[in-house]
Structure 1
Amino acid sequence: MTDSQKPRILMCPADYFGIEYEINPWMSVQKGTDPERSSAQWKALHQTLVDLGVEIDLMEPVKGLPDLVFTANAGLVYHDLFIPSRFRYKVRQGETPRFEEWARSRGFRIVELPAGENFEGAGDALFCGDALFAGYRFRSDVQSHQWIGERLGVEVLPMELIDPRFYHLDTCFCPLAPGVAVYYPGAFDEYGRSVILDRIPTLIEVRAEEAVFFSCNAVVVGSTVVLNQGAPKLTADLERLGYQTRALDLSEFIKSGGSAKCLTLRIDGEEAANWKSAATPS
């Protein structure tokens, strides 16, 4: 595998990760996190991805921005375009200039959303084949997804999230390849479930008891799926489809409402993206 063929992922070390506020049902300032454990868990994920042949681009952690570690929320990458997130909660809005600075330093063209629209990056926008599946309600606005679809010239399929525990799309939906995905039905309204069933021929349905271990919040590298521990049924289903799995302990990050996928941003596009052309929208 040459360097140009290597998957590329953005990560941010967990040096300043912790629970300093509460903006989702998982977070508890009183319970907090264990810095040593979270650092060790982050390093284990980083090493696992390196072992799988991933080229990791590291951001500098920033004190006072504990959720900068969740780089999936940086924005949306499409070819050489970067659409930075516009966070709903003020406590996370300081992350956007950092992510924009990183994107510019890597040669991405920055495309900003219209004022007043919320969008939280690859946390709520995931390609599966040609279509961009987009979650809205808790963090991102459906209008932002429609604007992105028009700007990029791609089909966008907005789906409403209804369970606040699964507040981002990547907590309950994971594309594996064009036409193949993992999802937790209970996170979506009836229309959202019908969109997934109609548009994705091969689906693995995650049980509720495993969904709460953020088993959908996985990183796909070729035929390997890296996910949190606690999902033996999903693991068996994945292996029946020919996937290998790497289960890690990411419990400290689940306390903040994130897991493997939240801790990564695919710089070369989502694993299951099927960009038809190397051309970039003007």
Structure 2
Amino acid sequence: MVMAFRTRHPAPPTFAVSDLCCEEERCALRTSDCAYQVAWTINPHMKMGAVNWHRARAQHRLLRRALRAAGAQLLELPFVHGAYDCVFAKDNAVLLEKEGQKRALLASPVFSERQQEQQARARVLDRLGFDIFSPPPAHFEGGDLVVLPGARGALLGHGQRSSRHAAVMLEIFLGAPVTPLELKDPHLYHLDTALHVLSDGTALVCPEAFTPAALRTLERTEGIHQILNVPREEALGFGLNLVEVGRTVFLGGRAPWVELLLHAQGRCPTVLPLDQFHLAGGSAACLVSQIHPARGTAREALRPASAPTRRERPGEPRGGAGYLQ
């Protein structure tokens, strides 16, 4: 008798993505503050006034279409009026789901330019059914967290935007160990610009971004099966700011060495032009926030907080967010 075995395939990922501008019905007064732009410099990549709005919108739409075509689901978040960097949805919160229960640990950004979007995003996530957890007392930004395959642990970048002390609350929230890694290059200021971990545990790493101690720690981290080095030049072009959907890996620009490594690992690298977001210091991974499957539940020491209920100002989101098919 021949027995048939079912192969379990991971569920398609769900990513939260932000709109690039205010919707007319949500904004009583349409102004230049209603759309993505670079209006300040809080990282070395930012070039004020350099964004071509029409190109940015076309590139963002292409990214969304490509993610859906690869099998991903998207969760829509409204643009936060005047908070232009809110388009980099990964930075706002860590998102988890287990058995239909969704929860969000809010970030605590360093710069006031990023802090201003947090209340609006918390209200939207609350309306979408997430349990909202208050941010760590130490600085933490979502771009500094890389969740390892199977959510069995995570890596925390610190030294530029986040504090290593945030690891304590992150471990409680994730129900899994968090390994701090010190970043030393201001141009690679978030962990997701300096490192990407594939679903098989292969880590693509720019060594120059880390202290020697951090590299030694990474080599010993459970869940990291091999480390492949990537030249700093490609990391500076956001070649490690990747999004993985099945065997497809999306890049926001050409990175020949990264593409070669991905092919060798059996992946299908797909390049999407995202140069209009490079002008603000982000790329593919920054623009989406994956809802990770949770292995455990937040321990008793960490309880959901009430979502902010401050009266909304004109142009702030008032609903309409949800799953897009």
> TM-score normalized by structure 1?
0.90
Partner of 1:74: 92
- Indicate the RMSD between aligned Cα atoms, in angstroms: 1.8
Partner of 1:145: 167
Q: CA offset at residue 62 of structure 1?
A: 2.6
Task: Give the alignment partner of residue 140 of structure 2, picking from 116, 119, 139.
Answer: 119
Task: Give the alignment partner of residue 284 of structure 2, picking from 237, 260, 263.
Answer: 260
Q: How does 1:27-106 map to 2 (within 5 A)?
A: 27-29=46-48, 31-79=49-97, 80-106=102-128
Q: How does 1:221-236 map to 2 (within 5 A)?
A: 221-236=245-260
SS at match of 1:5: coil
- CA distance in structure 2 between the aligned counterparts of 1:90 and 1:135, rounded to whole angstroms: 20
Partner of 1:18: 37
Contact (CA 8 Å) 2:95, 2:104: kept in 1 or not?
Answer: yes
Q: Answer 1 or 2: higher relative contact order, Cα 8 Å, separation at least 6.
A: 2
SS at match of 1:58: strand
User: Residue 52 of structure 2 aligns to which amino acid in structure 1?
Assistant: D
Q: CA offset at residue 178 of structure 1?
A: 4.5
Q: CA offset at residue 280 of structure 1?
A: 5.0
User: Residue 254 of structure 1 aligns to which amino acid in structure 2?
Assistant: H
SS at match of 2:198: strand
- CA distance in structure 2 between the aligned counterparts of 1:218 and 1:91, rounded to whole angstroms: 25
- CA distance in structure 2 between the aligned counterparts of 1:101 and 1:180, rounded to whole angstroms: 36
Higher alpha-carbon Rg: 2
1:66-120 alpha-carbon deviations (Å, 9 max, x no partner): 11100010111233221111111011111111221122112111111354x2111
% identical aligned pairs: 29
Q: CA offset at residue 190 of structure 1?
A: 0.6
Quick check: 191-200 or 238-247, which moved more?
A: 191-200
Q: What is the count of residue pairs matched by the alignment?
A: 270
* Structure 1 residue ranges without an equivalent (≥5): none
SS at match of 2:187: helix
Task: Give the alignment partner of residue 241 of structure 2, picking from 211, 217, 230.
Answer: 217
* Structure 2 residue ranges without an equivalent (≥5): 1-9, 22-34, 301-325
Point out 4+ residue stretches in structure 1 off by more than 4 angstroms. Answer: none
> TM-score normalized by structure 2?
0.79
Partner of 1:207: 231
Q: CA offset at residue 127 of structure 1?
A: 1.2
SS at match of 1:186: helix
